[in-house]
């Protein structure tokens, strides 16, 4: 090489270096700077010994990063999930080592199975103490490996910018999921030459999306165009891929009836004429029965969970299956596909829409309506307009719909009230249904509602919770009190662990084994946290109580006493085929 | 059980980034499903900074296909392939320790070595260590031969396997370095089995 060019090159390098001044910062500061570049505005967390340097740095970032002090790390991570679900952004959670980190595990498992993007930062003991059973040392990386999309332990501050950039990229891209970064205390304290933060957009071993293959789009379109009784099943993939518009266009052009998994709820409005209802164990009658009658099944961003499919060897055996998914591991995992349409549905759906013929399937749609008529008569009418003395869960949701007009974000816990809320809540908008689907985590709703509100501050957030589940995370009333966040809490109190009781009634000949749960005075409990509340047990008070709750400035707890031994129907009993769904 | 009939040995080859943590991430994909790992070997690959896992399990192809997809889904896995024994060249190494006295007294050591493709690694007054490399039957065979002479210790290595039909793997792996690798690299190779996946 000529001297000239070498000199030139050295000059360039020096100039480059001068442009990015090297500053000495601590690992903790580098972490917080990274969060700011990533657009993080809210952190849910809880401090402790091993994460103190980060909290010390956070003290100076109060104006840029809103840290919400939760009451339990599980509450923190569920709040992060709620935030991610309504905002479409990545939830960020801080916890200390040992018990702080292990308290995250339920939330990680929940976020992993429901594909929720999270970046969790845990403190860890000093690197030289790793493996010595030091105070509050747990092997967080190994504990969380099965329940994270990726995790990594940082022991040197120099790694922090790159690792955090990878964490956000991995959490948000492809099929989203939780990432945990464990940072040893020495790395948090360590000063290093900080060269700025660059976002990550490529990892050589990681392919967030499979390449879209026109061949499969064509094959899928051909199948759809020939179909007499096509049926669309959609899941959360539509929402995660921000493909609601693309999805709606596909449904409307093809004229195909479409049903949702509970995580997909709201991607198109509840009252869209082609929205035929909910799938699965407590889903609607028509969608379940007709799954076993359709000729082409088009599954979009859903993973054929067993709560959706029932008995697999009797599931849609007559149908050709088109499966659109971003995760290649989902294709053929549970249901063998005829045409696998690998890829991001935001890209694949418009391609498919372009090739499908505009149609109306009126006769086929009429079949759904006929099943709906039967379901209304036998299940929905008695649930929503009961003639019994005691209130039903369904009528509470119906009343709520009338007041919110379907504009609220509905957060649910797990149990009968969850199924009732998902079945009957009116949703006009996407990102309006926050529930623990895959893991079924009781205790999810209260903290998730807090996060949901932080993620969608201009929307009304209503948490619908059972008397059992509320007691699992009710300490988060403290978070509501201190942060002043506005969430509306409805406890549907049936004085039972209702869903388990329902199974015991139906399958264990009413042997009610430990499902009879006592509750504290919930309104008094809320009052202790300076949250106003009310309990009602007469339906004539329901509209006014709901109005009072919704018009209250700030959080409100409404406890509704509902009938004790109501069952959620329809129901596909475990081990049965979807077409064996029972109306009673 | 008809399922057992379909089961056979499969060799799973995984190309990965750095191994720390990944070993566990890969292992739990099997253990979670209560699938025994018969053999596990980790080594460098021909490309710097890319590691290679050789895993042997006894399962049906359907299960193995799903497992490889789960493995390939891991962020730090570049590629995962599975092959039957017929698709690979494989070897396992075994060491055998026997008392030198007994052996010297009772067997023609030379014949033993010759017939079993073994070689002496260490020869001491008190004990001798033999080594053989080959398929499972071959290494097993020497155990049964040596057992009557008081086999003191036996150990067999994990399996290493070279894929017969691996043309282009190397090029593919190197392509991962690029920001926009070619289509044939990114796509999951099961897609190439068009007819198999696409049955209309
Ligand atoms: C953490 C956790 N523990 C146990 C369960 C099992 N479980 C599912 S529903 C349910 C009952 C829920 O009771 P409640 O919160 O009162 O709601 P309900 O069904 O009465 O509406 C239980 C115990 C669970 N899903 N999650
Ligand atoms: Mg209850």
Which ligand 1 atom is nearest residue A470's CA?
15
| B2-86+167-184 and B89-156, same CATH topology | yes
The answer to whether residues A233 and A262 touch, using CB atoms and an 8 Å cutoff, is: no
Q: Is A320 helix (H, G, I), strand (E, B) or coil?
A: strand
Q: Domain check: are A247 and A118 in the same one?
A: no
B165 — pLDDT class (breaks 50, 70, 90): confident
What does the pLDDT look like over B56-103, one tens digit per residue? Answer: 999 999 999 999 999 999 999 998 999 999 999 999 999 999 998 888
Q: Is the dihedral of CA A124, A125, A131, A133 positive or negative?
A: negative
Residue ranges of chain A with per-residue pLDDT less than 70: 1-21
Spell out which residues of chain B touch residue A326, defining contact as CB-CB under 8 Å. none
A512 in contact with chain B, both atoms CB, cutoff 8 A = no
Which residue in the set B17, B28, B186 is minimally distant from A146, CB to CB? B28
Whether residues A328 and B69 touch (CB distance < 8 A) is answered with yes
Strands A178-184, A191-194: pairing is unpaired
What confidence score (pLDDT) does residue B102 get?
85
Q: Collect all residues with Cβ–Cβ distance below 8 Å to A288 and sequence separation of at least 6.
A: A279, A280, A310, A570, A572, A578, A579, A581
**CATH number, domain with residue A322:** 3.40.50.1220
Residue A405 covered by a domain: yes
A177 in contact with chain B, both atoms CB, cutoff 8 A = no
Q: Which of A281, A442, A499, A571 is catalytic?
A: A499
What is the best residue among A78, A423, A442, A512 to mutate for testing ligand 1's pocket, by most ligand atoms within 8 Å of CB? A442
Spell out which residues of chain A touch residue B198, defining contact as CB-CB under 8 Å. 216, 219, 338-340
A219 in contact with chain B, both atoms CB, cutoff 8 A = yes
Q: Whole-angstrom distance between the N-terminal and C-terminal Cα of chain A?
A: 85
Q: Domain check: are A234 and A108 in the same one?
A: no
Q: Which of A33, A38, A73, A476 is catalytic?
A: A73
- State the best of B75, B78, B183 to mutate against chain A, taking most chain A CBs within 10 Å: B75
Nearest to A360 by CA among A232, A273, A255, A250: A255
Say if ligand 1 is within 6 A of residue A103 CB.
no
- Cβ pairs bridging A and B (under 8 Å): 72
The verdict on whether A126 is a catalytic residue reads no
Q: Domain check: are A352 and A226 in the same one?
A: yes
Between CA A527 and CA A271 the distance in angstroms is 38
- Give the DSSP letter of residue A211: P
Q: Which of A149, A166, A172, A185 is catalytic?
A: A185
Q: Which residue has the higher pLDDT, B182 or A135?
A: A135
Report the separation in Å between the CA atom of A440 and the middle of ligand 1, taken as the mean of its atom positions.
8
Say if ligand 1 is within 6 A of residue A33 CB.
no
- State the best of A159, A167, A168, A205 to mutate against chain B, taking most chain B CBs within 10 Å: A205
Spell out which residues of chain B touch residue A211, defining contact as CB-CB under 8 Å. 183, 186-187
B54 — pLDDT class (breaks 50, 70, 90): very high
The answer to whether residues B169 and B92 touch, using CB atoms and an 8 Å cutoff, is: no
Angle (CA) A267 A270 A274, round 5°: 85
What is the best residue among A114, A499, A506, A516 to mutate for testing ligand 1's pocket, by most ligand atoms within 8 Å of CB? A499
Q: Collect all residues with Cβ–Cβ distance below 8 Å to B23 and sequence separation of at least 6.
A: B42, B53
For residue A99, the surrounding DSSP H or E stretch is helix A99-102
The verdict on whether A522 is a catalytic residue reads no
Query: From the CA of B78, how many Å to the nearest CA of chain A?
Result: 4
B184 — pLDDT class (breaks 50, 70, 90): very low
Whether residues A329 and B199 touch (CB distance < 8 A) is answered with no
Q: Calculate mean pLDDT across residues B111-132.
A: 90
Q: Domain check: are A359 and A466 in the same one?
A: no
Alpha-helical runs (H) found in A20-96: 27-37, 52-58, 73-87
Ligand nearest to the CA of A498: 1
The verdict on whether A19 is a catalytic residue reads no
Q: Domain check: are A358 and A472 in the same one?
A: no
| Number of residues that make up chain B | 200
The verdict on whether A73 is a catalytic residue reads yes
Alpha-helical runs (H) found in A310-466: 345-355, 362-375, 381-384, 393-404, 416-424, 445-455
Say if ligand 1 is within 6 A of residue A98 CB.
no
Between CA B153 and CA B156 the distance in angstroms is 10
- Two tokens at A577? 């085929």
Q: Domain check: are A274 and A305 in the same one?
A: yes
Residue A574 covered by a domain: no
In the predicted model, what is the mean pLDDT of chain B? 83
**What would the DSSP string read from start to end of A478-507?**
HHHHHH----EEEEEE-SS-HHHHHHHHHH
Query: From the CA of B66, how many Å to the nearest CA of chain A?
Result: 7
Between CA A332 and CA A326 the distance in angstroms is 13
ipTM: 0.90
Angle (CA) A144 A150 A155, round 5°: 80
Q: Domain check: are A91 and A55 in the same one?
A: yes
Q: What pTM does this model have?
A: 0.93
The answer to whether residues A448 and A418 touch, using CB atoms and an 8 Å cutoff, is: no
A214 in contact with chain B, both atoms CB, cutoff 8 A = no
Whether residues A219 and B200 touch (CB distance < 8 A) is answered with yes
Q: Domain check: are A284 and A176 in the same one?
A: no
Say if ligand 1 is within 6 A of residue A107 CB.
no
Say if ligand 1 is within 6 A of residue A47 CB.
no
What superfamily in CATH does domain B89-156 come from?
ACT-like. Chain A, domain 2 (3.30.70.1150)
Rounded to whole angstroms, what are the CA distances from A16 to A9, A37, A195?
Answer: 10, 21, 12
Chain centroid to CA A208: 19
Whether residues A203 and B75 touch (CB distance < 8 A) is answered with yes
**CATH number, domain with residue A102:** 3.40.50.970
The answer to whether residues B59 and B11 touch, using CB atoms and an 8 Å cutoff, is: no
Between CA A469 and CA A441 the distance in angstroms is 9
What is the best residue among A469, A506, A519 to mutate for testing ligand 1's pocket, by most ligand atoms within 8 Å of CB? A469
**Segments making up each domain of chain B, as ranges:** 2-86+167-184, 89-156
Q: Which of A52, A136, A293, A548 is catalytic?
A: A136
Check pLDDT > 80 for residue B190.
no
CATH no. for B2-86+167-184? 3.30.70.260
Q: Domain check: are A224 and A180 in the same one?
A: no
- Give the DSSP letter of residue A357: P
What does the pLDDT look like over A470-525, one tens digit per residue? Answer: 999 999 999 999 999 999 999 999 999 999 999 999 999 999 999 999 999 999 99
Which ligand 1 atom is nearest residue A415's CA?
19
Q: Domain check: are A230 and A154 in the same one?
A: no
- Give the DSSP letter of residue A501: H
Write out the residue range of the structural domain in which residue A502 sits: 389-562
Whether residues B198 and A216 touch (CB distance < 8 A) is answered with yes
Contacts of the segment A12-17: beta carbons below 8 A, 24+ positions apart = none
Which chain A residue lies closest to B22 (C-alpha atoms)?
A145
Strands A230-234, A91-95: pairing is unpaired
User: Number of structural domains, chain A?
Assistant: 3
What confidence score (pLDDT) does residue B196 get?
36
Q: Domain check: are A361 and A411 in the same one?
A: no
What does the pLDDT look like over B4-47, one tens digit per residue? Answer: 668 999 999 999 997 788 999 999 999 999 999 999 999 998 88
Residue A3 covered by a domain: no
Residue A292 covered by a domain: yes
B94-116: buried (b, 16+ CB within 10 Å) or exposed (e) per residue?
Answer: bbbbbebebbeeeeebeebeeeb
Q: Which residue has the higher pLDDT, B107 or B16?
A: B16
**What are the residues of chain B with a beta carbon less than 8 Å away from any beta carbon of chain A?**
16-17, 21, 24-25, 28, 32, 65-66, 69-70, 72-73, 75-78, 176-177, 179, 183, 186-188, 190-191, 194, 197-200
Whether residues A145 and B191 touch (CB distance < 8 A) is answered with no
Whether residues A206 and B187 touch (CB distance < 8 A) is answered with no
Between CA A7 and CA B172 the distance in angstroms is 37
Q: Is B75 helix (H, G, I), strand (E, B) or coil?
A: coil
Ion ligand 2 residues within 5 Å by Cβ: A 466-468, 494, 496, 498
Q: Domain check: are A44 and A157 in the same one?
A: yes
Kindly report the backbone phi and psi dihedral angles of residue A427, in degrees, each rounded to the nearest multiple of 5, phi listed first: -125, 115
């Amino acid at each position: 090489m000529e001297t000239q060019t070498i000199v030139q090159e050295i000059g360039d390098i020096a100039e480059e270096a001068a442009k990015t001044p090297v500053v000495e910062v601590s690992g903790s500061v580098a972490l917080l700077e990274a969060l700011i570049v990533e657009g993080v505005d809210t952190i849910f967390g809880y401090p402790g010994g091993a994460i103190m340097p980060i909290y010390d740095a956070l003290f100076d970032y109060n104006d840029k990063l809103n840290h919400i002090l939760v009451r339990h790390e599980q509450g923190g991570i569920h709040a992060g999930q709620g935030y991610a679900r309504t905002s479409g952004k990545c939830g960020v959670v801080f916890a200390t080592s040992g018990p702080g980190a292990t308290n995250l595990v339920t939330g990680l498992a929940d976020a992993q199975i429901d594909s929720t993007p999270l970046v969790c930062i845990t403190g860890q003991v000093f690197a030289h103490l790793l493996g010595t059973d030091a105070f509050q040392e747990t092997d967080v990386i190994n504990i969380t490996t099965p329940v994270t999309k990726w995790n990594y332990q940082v022991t040197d501050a120099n790694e922090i910018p790159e690792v955090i950039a990878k964490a956000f990229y991995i959490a948000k891209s492809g099929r989203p999921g939780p990432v945990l970064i464990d940072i040893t205390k020495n790395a948090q304290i360590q000063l290093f030459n900080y060269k700025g933060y660059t976002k990550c957009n490529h990892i050589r071993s990681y392919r967030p999306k499979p390449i879209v293959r026109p061949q499969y789009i064509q094959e899928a379109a051909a199948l759809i165009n020939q179909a007499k009784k096509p049926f669309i099943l959609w899941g959360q993939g539509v929402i995660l891929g921000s493909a609601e518009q693309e999805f709606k266009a596909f449904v409307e052009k093809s004229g195909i009836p479409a049903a949702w998994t509970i995580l997909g709820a709201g991607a198109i409005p509840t009252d869209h004429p082609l929205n035929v209802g909910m799938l699965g164990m407590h889903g609607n009658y028509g969608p379940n029965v007709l799954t076993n009658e359709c000729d082409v099944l088009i599954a979009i961003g859903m993973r054929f969970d067993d709560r959706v499919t029932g008995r697999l060897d009797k599931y849609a055996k007559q149908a050709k299956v088109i499966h659109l998914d971003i995760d290649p591991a989902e294709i053929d995992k549970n249901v063998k596909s005829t045409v696998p349409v690998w890829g991001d549905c935001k890209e694949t759906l418009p391609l498919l829409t372009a090739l499908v013929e505009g149609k109306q399937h009126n006769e086929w749609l009429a079949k759904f309506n006929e099943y709906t008529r039967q379901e209304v008569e036998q299940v929905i009418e008695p649930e929503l307009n009961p003639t019994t003395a005691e209130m039903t869960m369904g009528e509470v949701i119906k009343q709520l719909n009338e007041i919110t007009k379907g504009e609220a974000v509905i957060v649910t816990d797990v149990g009968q009230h969850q199924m009732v809320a998902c079945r009957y809540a009116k949703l006009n908008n996407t990102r309006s249904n926050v529930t623990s689907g895959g893991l079924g985590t009781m205790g999810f709703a209260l903290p998730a509602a807090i996060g949901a509100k932080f993620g969608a501050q201009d929307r009304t957030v209503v948490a619908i919770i059972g008397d059992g589940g509320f007691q699992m995370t009710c300490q988060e009333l403290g978070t509501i009190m201190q942060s002043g966040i506005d969430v509306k809490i409805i406890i549907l109190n049936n004085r039972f662990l209702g869903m388990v009781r329902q199974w015991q009634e139906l399958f264990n000949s009413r042997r009610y084994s430990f499902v009879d749960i006592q509750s504290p005075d919930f309104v008094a409990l809320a009052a202790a946290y300076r949250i106003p509340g009310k309990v009602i047990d007469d339906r004539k008070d329901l509209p006014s109580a709901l109005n009072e709750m919704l018009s209250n400035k700030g959080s409100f707890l409404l406890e509704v006493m509902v009938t004790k031994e109501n069952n959620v129907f329809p129901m596909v009993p475990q081990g049965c085929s979807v077409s064996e769904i029972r109306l009673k | 059980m008809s399922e057992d009939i379909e089961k056979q040995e499969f060799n799973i080859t995984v190309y990965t980034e750095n191994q720390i943590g990944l070993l566990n991430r890969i292992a739990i994909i099997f253990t979670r499903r209560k699938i025994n790992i018969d053999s596990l070997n980790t080594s460098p690959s021909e490309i710097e900074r890319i590691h290679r896992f050789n895993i042997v399990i006894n399962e049906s192809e359907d299960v193995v296909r799903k497992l490889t997809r789960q493995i390939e889904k891991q962020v730090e896995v570049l590629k995962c392939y599975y092959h039957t024994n017929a698709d690979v060249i494989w070897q396992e190494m075994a060491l055998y320790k026997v008392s030198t006295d007994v052996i010297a007294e009772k067997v023609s050591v030379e014949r033993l070595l010759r017939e079993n493709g073994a070689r002496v690694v260490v020869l001491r007054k008190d004990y001798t260590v033999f080594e053989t490399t080959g398929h499972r039957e071959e290494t097993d065979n020497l155990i049964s031969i040596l057992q009557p002479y008081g086999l003191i210790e036996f150990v067999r290595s994990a399996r290493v396997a070279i894929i017969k039909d691996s043309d282009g793997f190397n090029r593919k792996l190197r392509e991962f370095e690029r920001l926009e690798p070619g289509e044939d690299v990114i796509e999951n190779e099961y897609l190439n089995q068009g007819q198999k996946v696409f049955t209309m």
